[in-house]
With several copies, the nearest count.
Chain A
Amino acid sequence: MELNVLFGGRAGDGIRQLGQLWARLLARRGYRVFLYDDYPSLIRGGHNFTVVRASELPVSSHRERVEILVALNSEALERHRWRLEKEGLILGEDLEAGVSVPWKEIVKEERAPAIMRNTAALASLARLLDIPWEELEGHLRRDLPKETELNLKIAHRSYQKTSGGVFRSLPVLSQEPWPTFFGNEALALGAVAAGLKLYVAYPMTPASSILHYLALHGETLGVTTIHPENEIAAILCALGASYAGWPSMVGTSGGGFALMVEALSLAGQAELPIVIIECQRPGPSTGVPTYTMQGDLDFVASAGHGEFPRVVLAPGEAEEAFRLSAWALYLAWKFQIPVLVLSDKQVSESLFTTKLPLDEVPRLEFKAWAGGGEYQRYALAPDGISPLAFPGDPQAVVKVNSYEHDPYGITTEEPELIAQMQEKRFRKLSLLKDLLDAPAWVKAEGEGETALVVWGSTRGPAWEVARALGWRYVQPLVLEPFPERALKAALEGVKKVIVAETNFTGALVRRLKAHGIQVDHQVLKYDGRPFSLEELEGKVRGL
């Protein structure tokens, strides 16, 4: 059982909200849903569309073809008609064919803002799918806390006016309903679950909604949220807090991350824990800000002058986003290093149903200074991890330093010490490799002799395609340090390796090859759009 609905209209028509309301309604009926949102970089006008896919089974990708097309203007109809399945339904206003409901009129008559057409459209859709009014009313009361009564009035009139009978019945599923999360919400909550105290970010699509979410819910979540003057201030503020003992995180997209690179290197030298979320979009430069691409892997993996250990994690959907951002904070503090979480628009701004594994993620811990003797911030520990104390401790003088330094944190230029400190920092890399080059960090499913290998957001369609084709599915969750052993283990017995990613130069392909893993086919997409299920399947089938 699957249902795919496309909602299309102009920016400002509330298309995304409409999709989200629909997705949540279905989620509460026990469906697993995925919402893909396609919008240009403007505030009003242009063309937006949102695809909501609902299924009994977990999904995290969208289909190209849909059973229902909800058109809030005629452009939506023109652009997307080709997507409609045979026997599909068109819902809109003033249609030649399909179900027409006079939403504009209803909204006008109620003297409501034009955007409330989206509530009207939702009601029509609910009616056509045999959702009882009482149920819809309950959803709207919950999801539209503002102007609820007006919305309900509009919904009710539209519900009544929708004729044409039931298009399809959507049974309430018996499985437990799962909550819905945008990828960015899951990223935020993962860090909160691990112990986040401070989030600092300058707005940048597609990372901004982490900022908005934490600013709105920070009081509840115990997170201070700051929007500073620029990205440079953002990361240095976060590093100051981290020095003072507050787990902190920053989030941005590629261009903002570029401005953080100098401070990333500072975190490396001063051994300050920090989590950086980088939500990719098509570059170079401003590029295509509201679309998606996996084009920044090499950049984040080697950003920063000088050499220092770091971790790069890449989630492919909301649950992974939650887990990995929790792990990011954990690893950052355990190893006193910068940890980067590489998301993209497709993960960050899509909506997923998932039960977040609240109890399965690590909580932040660190090697605390036990007191006794004199404190050395950079004690030459055998494992490279010096015990942490924080300013304010009456027993310790805590000195961190961007210069190369001695164990007390005092600047040094002595060759022996320079080498020793570099070795100390890199001892952590061996520990990291032991921890992260392990099966848990490479998702592998299926037994086939053909493997589809992907990372990040390409997971959504790839996982389903691999299943459908009886192939093995392989996805590293950590990209740096690269889990060479675990990948080779996951690929044991595989005769054909196919890699798919949304970029031009094949960042994962390059990495696999550099680590001695042969790649037989690469499937790249670099037009700013994610792979739809059909598209990916079409491209890999027969390879």
Chain B
Amino acid sequence: MLARAKDPLSTYAEITWCPGCGNFGLLTALKKVLKGWQEEGALSRLVLVSGIGCHAKIVDYVAVNSFYAIHGRVLPVAWGIKMARPELTVLGHAGDGDAYGEGLAHLIFAAKRNLNLTLVVHNNSVYGLTTGQFTPTSPKGFKGRSTPKGSPETPINPLELMLASGATFVARGYAGRPAHLATLIEAGLRHPGFAFIDVLQPCYTFFNTYDFFNARVKELPPGHDPTDFEAALRWALKWDYSQEAQEIPLGIFYQVSKPLYEDLVRVSPKEPDLEEHIKRLHS
């Protein structure tokens, strides 16, 4: 049996994250979302796609359709699934190495195209599974195994990049607040278009940021208007992913509606009349 008898959303796979890993919070949030879909009888319409890394193991742990892909390629796989079956809802789980390093180009294009997908980035600012190298969101000076003297690079701000790339849904969650995170994921799944959620995920073993985040994360004020691009950008610029910040905002920074890529590109399958086509074009 794939699913555990006592917890049918879970599989028999043993969870192999380090004790204390932020991914547990993410799993809690995901399961909360899945539960809702299950209750609505819609679980089989959901597909998860993951990269490779600690984050990616999440798909082994839930008894839901999944494509455990390769490092950096969550988005093109998700895109293909969606092109074939637009009635499915596709949720990607990527790491920060995955989404902002190896696979960065796909991320910008997913936003540019407004693909109808949701992407959750387990952003621990470290390559967890390969034992602690710096990633595109590691703070400058981060001492990882490939940068023993400290990272020479300034981190990117994924929210800023996503806003600059035309994303229609830009949010930030925190693995330490699974209930809030679940609402973000749910909102992302219901958003028609590309929903991007950067999730601050402490890596207990290689970059333990619990204290740093606990002291700083704060939900966006209720008055924030997510359709206001400039406000969204201002909020996004509040924190530059360095190790210094007064306040790190969480929530939906930006959400607007734009035409969907799939509606513009997808051709409905049909039985072509090849004979006719050849007569018309090639004879």
Contact status B70-A216, CB under 8 Å? no
Contact status B128-A43, CB under 8 Å? yes
| Docked complex Cα distance between A161 and B205 (Å) | 31
Q: Which residue of B18, B68, B206 is within 8 Å of A400 (Cβ)?
A: B68
Contact status A45-B16, CB under 8 Å? yes
Q: What is the interface residue range for chain B against chain A?
A: 35 or more
As a 0/1 sequence over residues 398 to 430 of chain A, the CB contacts with chain B under 8 angstroms (1 = contact) are 111111000011110000000000000000000
Report the stretch among A120-128, A165-173, A178-186, A452-460 that lies at the interface.
Answer: A178-186
What residues of A have a CB within 8 angstroms of the CB of B67 in the complex?
Answer: 240, 243, 270, 399-400
Chain B CB within 8 A of A98 CB: no
What residues of A have a CB within 8 angstroms of the CB of B235 in the complex?
Answer: none
Chain B nearest Cβ from A541, distance in angstroms: 36
Q: Which residue of B80, B131, B281 is within 8 Å of A241 (Cβ)?
A: B80
What residues of A have a CB within 8 angstroms of the CB of B88 in the complex?
Answer: 244, 391-392
What residues of A have a CB within 8 angstroms of the CB of B196 in the complex?
Answer: none
Chain B CB within 8 A of A134 CB: no
A180, A229, A270: most-surrounded residue (chain B CB, <10 A): A229
Contact status B76-A228, CB under 8 Å? yes
As a 0/1 sequence over residues 366 to 395 of chain A, the CB contacts with chain B under 8 angstroms (1 = contact) are 000000001000000000000000111110
Closest B residue by C-beta to A245: B84
| Docked complex Cα distance between A394 and B42 (Å) | 9
As a 0/1 sequence over residues 124 to 158 of chain B, the CB contacts with chain A under 8 angstroms (1 = contact) are 00011111011010000000011110000000000
| Docked complex Cα distance between A154 and B45 (Å) | 56
Interchain pairs with CB closer than 8 A, number: 245
A43, A358, A411: most-surrounded residue (chain B CB, <10 A): A43
Chain B CB within 8 A of A79 CB: no
Chain A CB within 8 A of B210 CB: no
| Docked complex Cα distance between A208 and B19 (Å) | 24
Please judge, given known A-B contacts A43-B54, A43-B129, whether A358 and B275 are in contact too, CB under 8 Å: yes
As a 0/1 sequence over residues 353 to 370 of chain A, the CB contacts with chain B under 8 angstroms (1 = contact) are 000101000000000000
Chain B nearest Cβ from A256, distance in angstroms: 9
As a 0/1 sequence over residues 224 to 258 of chain A, the CB contacts with chain B under 8 angstroms (1 = contact) are 11111110111011111111111010000001000
Closest A residue by C-beta to B47: A391
| Residues B88-131 near A (CB distance < 8 A) | 88, 101-102, 104-106, 109, 127-131
Q: Which residue of A198, A202, A222, A392 is within 8 Å of B268 (Cβ)?
A: A222
What residues of B have a CB within 8 angstroms of the CB of A411 in the complex?
Answer: 13, 57, 60, 68
Chain B CB within 8 A of A262 CB: yes
| Docked complex Cα distance between A246 and B52 (Å) | 24
Chain B nearest Cβ from A279, distance in angstroms: 13
What residues of B have a CB within 8 angstroms of the CB of A174 in the complex?
Answer: none
Chain A nearest Cβ from B56, distance in angstroms: 9
What residues of B have a CB within 8 angstroms of the CB of A286 in the complex?
Answer: 52, 68, 70-71
Chain A nearest Cβ from B279, distance in angstroms: 8
Q: Which residue of A41, A218, A262, A396 is within 8 Å of B70 (Cβ)?
A: A262
What residues of A have a CB within 8 angstroms of the CB of B130 in the complex?
Answer: 203-205, 208
Contact status B77-A240, CB under 8 Å? yes
Contact status B73-A232, CB under 8 Å? yes
Contact status A240-B68, CB under 8 Å? no
What residues of B have a CB within 8 angstroms of the CB of A189 in the complex?
Answer: 274, 277-278
- In order of increasing CB-CB distance, the 3 nearest A-B pairs are A240-B80, A246-B84, A236-B76
Known: A203-B131, A393-B44, A399-B59. 20 other contacts (CB 8 A): A43-B17, A44-B19, A45-B16, A46-B16, A202-B102, A205-B130, A211-B133, A215-B146, A221-B274, A224-B83, A225-B265, A226-B265, A228-B109, A237-B80, A241-B83, A392-B45, A397-B44, A399-B65, A410-B11, A410-B60
Interface residues, chain B, with chain A CB atoms under 8 Å away: 1-3, 11-14, 16-19, 44-45, 47, 49, 52, 54, 57, 59-60, 63-73, 75-85, 87-88, 101-102, 104-106, 109, 127-131, 133-134, 136, 145-148, 205-206, 265-272, 274-275, 277-279, 281-283
